[in-house]
Structure 1
């Protein structure tokens, strides 16, 4: 091989990887992954979605854009995803049951609209009250609620959201009835709790934690089976006189039904890689989330089980589906 040929071949080897990289980058820019958060910025779902999205760019080697599409207790974002592209370019972040619309149908019907991709994380709730509420324990709150049926108000990020379902389950366990005040997201709900317009919330650690300093609200119990290591002085609901009670919000990701399994597999692998990074795990722990990860089949199984469980609340008239 002469010197001219050698230099020509070396030049080709140097240029080829750069060209291939540019080609991949250009293709990726044409089809970014759109992460749909079905609630306003600032809530637990939004925080979780943005933490994962920040790492997905490198895990998937494609741009990632977070879009908030709030409304109708998550239904708008869920329906937007279900009716969107079926190529793996639209990914919904949501609590395990992503839309109240599914409660009025057989559980399996959800799979005709949304394809499970990956379990993400779970978080217990905190039962918190405005500082003006005299109750210092869950037992005292229950006693007050029994003295004043529907005299206490509880807020949620929307009708039939996971927080609403958890609060209804707590009321059933405690044998009380509070007045429901639905909001358009966690942010406005917490603002009104601090202002005294509502008295009670059952909300994620991520939603409550920023307000624990200053005495503007009080946490009476956590809904996890065991006390939280970060807050060992806060008792569980079960310890507060309601043995066996447990409620945790579980988050997952979904694509439109009909998305190719190969595209879902790529997203699943990328999300699981992201959940294994120390940065993501540390950030989720700070917000009170426990990373899970797993397979589409595991998310599907959990999804169908939860829909069946909460269907009883719909049948009992505790949750309306005519939004």
Structure 2
């Protein structure tokens, strides 16, 4: 065998190996998924988010023909869950569950950047929010509440989960827009906040509409405004916050999904499509609607990315005004 022939055969072998090697990632993408997928929730088990994701996981298993495992990783201001996804291979087999609270932590604590560190896939659903007062409140309308706040700076108090929480930031935005100031009183969460309003411990709160649906018909709370673009069908006579004279952006508490930033586009598109379909499937809608959620999905990954960016923008402005610092 001549030296020229040996060189030619060697070149052909190397070329074949190169083509084979470059084809492997493509084969892996078209074969996706071929093993179980894990969804990481950065919250404790048992909550509404946990119930929702586990219900969606059952639907995903049907369409993906693979097991979908849900893993709760709470703690560290969502960092434990986030790091577990970022440290996993960028192959689509580790999916991150997001919630609006993570945007608040991003803006206040500056520990991560969701749009830079992840690829958002789709919103899974959201919850409308309302502003409510107690049954014995002298404030019959939003204009009454604002007028009192303007005339009596620091005399209104309101319940939130604490400084820097989403509800606190939105109320602070309202204070600036309407020209009044109140006192933030921290409670453990939504149920305690609403209980404080009913009992007269605070003047008002911003909370999920599902609480108002539970207590307003009994006369235990009065809804003054929907923090939404349009009036809520459950409260057709209640004005939106803008209609009530306070020009702030809507607030809906959303959840959604994202993956590692280096995930191949074909896998991103597949996951986006499958998650979007599962999120609005009949079993998921029937399971989660009683929790007060509106089930929906993003048309594209970019649409969800823009939602996150929009929330970062308004929260950043409020945090700057409040001079909140990371702790």
TM interval, short-chain normalised: 0.7 to 0.9
Alignment of 1:245-260 (within 5 A): 246-260=250-264
Deviation at 1:242, TM superposition (A): 3.4
Gapped runs of 5+ residues in structure 1? 1-26
The answer for the alignment partner of 1:131 in structure 2 is 135
Alignment of 1:102-251 (within 5 A): 102=107, 109-242=113-246, 246-251=250-255
CA gap 1:292/1:269 in 2 versus in 1, 3 angstroms: closer
| TM-score, length of structure 1 as denominator length | 0.73
Give the number of aligned pairs. 290
8 Å Cα contact 2:82-2:96 kept in structure 1: no
Matches of 2:244 and 2:111, distance apart in 1? 36
Picking from 305, 311, 319, the partner of 2:310 is: 305
Deviation at 1:219, TM superposition (A): 0.9
8 Å Cα contact 1:38-1:71 kept in structure 2: no
| Higher Rg | 2
8 Å Cα contact 2:135-2:219 kept in structure 1: yes
Matches of 2:114 and 2:71, distance apart in 1? 23
Q: Deviations over 1:40-93 (max 9, x none)?
A: 8556x5665455445444344423436372675xx4566455555345324223
Deviation at 1:116, TM superposition (A): 1.2
8 Å Cα contact 1:82-1:257 kept in structure 2: no
Matches of 2:58 and 2:221, distance apart in 1? 31
Matches of 2:325 and 2:81, distance apart in 1? 15
CA gap 1:175/1:227 in 2 versus in 1, 3 angstroms: same
8 Å Cα contact 2:107-2:319 kept in structure 1: no
Q: Give RMSD over aligned pairs.
A: 3.5
Q: Which secondary structure state, in structure 2, belongs to the residue aligned with residue 316 of structure 1?
A: helix
Picking from 89, 94, 99, the partner of 1:94 is: 99
Picking from 65, 70, 74, the partner of 2:70 is: 65
Matches of 1:32 and 1:178, distance apart in 2? 47
Q: Deviations over 1:104-134 (max 9, x none)?
A: 7699x43343331212234432001222322
Matches of 1:251 and 1:205, distance apart in 2? 16
Deviation at 1:322, TM superposition (A): 1.4
CA gap 1:238/1:111 in 2 versus in 1, 3 angstroms: closer
Matches of 1:39 and 1:135, distance apart in 2? 37
Deviation at 1:263, TM superposition (A): 4.5
Deviation at 1:170, TM superposition (A): 1.8
Q: Which secondary structure state, in structure 1, belongs to the residue aligned with residue 119 of structure 2?
A: strand
Q: Deviations over 1:267-291 (max 9, x none)?
A: 3222111133234345555525251
CA gap 1:94/1:158 in 2 versus in 1, 3 angstroms: farther
